[in-house]
A and B are shown apart, each in its own frame.
Chain A
Amino acid sequence: MSAILQVLTPEGEIVKGQRAPDLDPADLVELYRLMLFNRRVDERMTRLQRQGRIGFYVGSIGEEASIIASTFALEKTDWVVPCYREAGAAFVKGFSFYDFCCQLFGNIDDKVKGRQMPNHYCSPELRFTSISSPVGTQIPHATGLGLGARLSGSSDVVLVFFGDGATSTGDFHVACNFAGVMKTPTIFLCRNNQWAISVPVQQQTASETLAVKAAAYGFPGVRVDGNDVFAVYQVTQEAVARARGGDGPTLIEAITYRLGPHSTSDDPRAYRDESEVEEWTLKDPIRRFRTYLLASVYWSEKEDQLFEERIVDDIQSTLNKVEHLPPPPVESMFEDVFESQPWHLREQLETLKESKRAQPVEEKV
């Protein structure tokens, strides 16, 4: 079984024989702040769902390093192809928190126009592709984007995220197979968080590891401690260099743990042991990174406390702006099906408007 790269131990120390990546202190602090912000947003939005203020939420608690440290290794013009659990990647790319919240509420300011469940945002300007719910469907898109980069002679690379469950899908197979044959600059990053809702990864495959599957497609597969900011950054950086240098795809298996539920519609107590969660809490990516930063004097307890307060304020002030905005107008339901609206959709809108005039319908998310 291939080795799992680790640079930063759960105790916040550099592994003997390894070194931290060449990132300056400002970058290290930025990485930490992004991870902590992500964590607090997830916690807050989960509470909001429990209070009935939003309908649904998907968090990535425990997986922040695998998502944020990897995206951090990209250039601005590189593409991120998310599944639905990579809010951190969007934040690294600079996605507006206001837009993020509007999409959770599906309100009139939502750039997705209230059409999708929470956590299904996107941004063409940031090269962060559109999120859908079916598992694995985004993976061939990342092959195609990479192929597009190759065909146009551009040096763009594509980072696609998916979970351990997705490696069982047909789309994972076709995407990797095409990418291997076409040598696309695609980095396949599997967040092996050990669980696909209630199905553990041991039941997902008979392979010894997920990374070994890359051999079938003719490109390297590497395993990394997904909770280790430095190791994740390093392997992604190496995969990015391979891709940009024309050497094709890499499969990264980031070994991490889904500390929370699959989504707010899930209760993991029904299928897993609290003791396992406790064990992985000790390997928390943010805790070990904070220990390192405090010891290195790049960060202080005082700054940490102030930053935590700022996060609370930022989230609250954004929610204040967003929460009571109205839903999108009913006309918008019939737009964007096609580039322009055909006669049958015009008629269907009129039928609905007539019915609402006679008997109003309450729009409630």
Chain B
Amino acid sequence: MPRMNIIQAVNDALRLEMRRDDRVVVLGEDVAKFGGVFRATQGLVDEFGPLRIFDTPLAEGGIVGTAVGLALYGFKPVPEIQFADFVYPAFDQLVNEVSKMRYRSGGQFSCPMVIRMPFGGGIRGGHYHSQSPEAYFVHTAGLKVVVPSNPYDAKGLLISSIRSQDPVIFMEPKRVYRASRGEVPEEDYTVELGKARVARKGSDITILTYGALVHTVVETAEKVQGEENIAVEVIDLRTLMPYDIDTILASVKKTGRVIIVHEAPRTCGFGAELAATIQEKALLHLHAPVLRVTGFDTPFPYSLENDYLPGEARIRQAIRETLDF
């Protein structure tokens, strides 16, 4: 079986879907000849030509607004936003048009599309190349939000997202674009949206996470097992909207201790939603409060990036805190 990194997996998913369905079109800045600033769309214009993948003028509002029209006409657009930090000019189109098209028309119109964007920090990108804006989209009814952590899931989730009849915000953890490698089947396959994955089994503590932090959390869990014999169960959420409440609750009821880890800022981050729902549904199963290890409520810093990002030290601090409660 071939080994791929996340970029290659994304490229492969796009290629296979564009072969399977000639309504799939890719648009964005620098995606065609240049192949995307992260090379996610490399080689696609050579195989499919400029009527299937093309560069747009520099305006995210135009990219997403045009994609709406393409979708209404019957295409399946896969627009790329170069960095999640630059999605905001398209925010009105996403929140007021894309997310609501099916609902507001009584189901008569819809505009399924997959809006791909690299997100997250750890590449010394500062305020404007490191953001994790997933909460805004989870909070907007009508958008699905998908976050792969590894190449196998990236390919399968992207294929599922392209085949979905709903608009999908597809957030790619750019700091592990190349570092995360693994076996990825050559043929097309799907990974179901709305289903989490147990990345590591354990019985003492549940850690819920997504994106690049899945790797950080699993590594920390291995250390903590070896050094302190604590068995941490790690759940890779994969889809944030809709999220897999069944897998989450099964783990919570098993361990009774929950830590949520995400890069996005703490206040009203996705962890807040999970914490609220977990205590609503499983209060009597909890042995300690639900803890969150997150980015701070500051813009994403440049020099102090490694202090900002949740890492082994802060995750272990939370593990101690929940066990000591």
Residues of A at the B interface (CB closer than 8 Å) are 110-113, 115-116, 120, 122-124, 129-130, 132, 134, 137, 139-149, 151-152, 158, 170-171, 173-175, 177-178, 181, 335-339, 342-344
Name the distance in Å between A18's Cβ and chain B's nearest Cβ: 35
Give the distance in Å from the alpha carbon of A356 to the alpha carbon of B259 in the complex.
36
Contacts of B165 in A (CB 8 A): 339
List which B72-115 residues lie within 8 A (CB) of chain A: 72-75, 89, 92-93, 96-97, 100-110
Q: When the two chains form their complex, are residues B102 and A140 in contact, meaning their CB atoms are under 8 A apart?
A: no
The 8 A CB mask of B102-146 against A (1 = contact, 0 = none) is 111111111000000000000000000000000000000110100
B226 within 8 A of A: no
Q: When the two chains form their complex, are residues A343 and B96 in contact, meaning their CB atoms are under 8 A apart?
A: no
Q: When the two chains form their complex, are residues A343 and B242 in contact, meaning their CB atoms are under 8 A apart?
A: yes
Q: When the two chains form their complex, are residues B70 and A148 in contact, meaning their CB atoms are under 8 A apart?
A: yes
Contacts of A152 in B (CB 8 A): 73-74
B203 within 8 A of A: no
- 18 inter-chain pairs at a CB distance below 8 angstroms, sorted by A residue, are A123-B108, A130-B101, A132-B104, A137-B92, A137-B93, A140-B68, A141-B69, A143-B65, A144-B69, A145-B69, A148-B70, A148-B72, A151-B75, A158-B69, A170-B89, A174-B59, A175-B65, A344-B242
Contacts of A175 in B (CB 8 A): 62, 65-66
The 8 A CB mask of B142-154 against A (1 = contact, 0 = none) is 1010000000000
List which B7-63 residues lie within 8 A (CB) of chain A: 25, 51, 56-57, 59, 61-62
Residues of B at the A interface (CB closer than 8 Å) are 25, 51, 56-57, 59, 61-62, 64-75, 89, 92-93, 96-97, 100-110, 141-142, 144, 164-166, 194, 242, 245
Give the distance in Å from the alpha carbon of A2 to the alpha carbon of B308 in the complex.
58
A178 and B141 in contact, given A115-B103, A137-B96, A342-B242 (Cβ under 8 angstroms): no
* Partner pick for B109 among A124, A142, A174, A335, CB 8 A cutoff: A124
Q: When the two chains form their complex, are residues A141 and B62 in contact, meaning their CB atoms are under 8 A apart?
A: no
Name the distance in Å between B194's Cβ and chain A's nearest Cβ: 7
Q: When the two chains form their complex, are residues A148 and B75 in contact, meaning their CB atoms are under 8 A apart?
A: yes
* Partner pick for B97 among A123, A137, A151, CB 8 A cutoff: A137
Most buried by A among B69, B70, B101, B144: B69
Q: When the two chains form their complex, are residues A111 and B96 in contact, meaning their CB atoms are under 8 A apart?
A: no
Q: When the two chains form their complex, are residues B73 and A140 in contact, meaning their CB atoms are under 8 A apart?
A: no
Name the distance in Å between A248's Cβ and chain B's nearest Cβ: 15
Q: When the two chains form their complex, are residues B141 and A132 in contact, meaning their CB atoms are under 8 A apart?
A: no
Name the distance in Å between A84's Cβ and chain B's nearest Cβ: 12
Additional A-B contacts beyond A141-B68, A342-B242 (15; CB < 8 A): A116-B104, A122-B109, A123-B108, A134-B97, A139-B65, A140-B66, A141-B66, A141-B69, A145-B72, A170-B59, A174-B61, A175-B62, A336-B106, A339-B164, A344-B242
Contacts of A151 in B (CB 8 A): 25, 51, 70, 75
Contacts of A115 in B (CB 8 A): 103-104, 106
Contacts of A147 in B (CB 8 A): 66, 69-70, 73
Give the distance in Å from the alpha carbon of A137 to the alpha carbon of B64 in the complex.
11
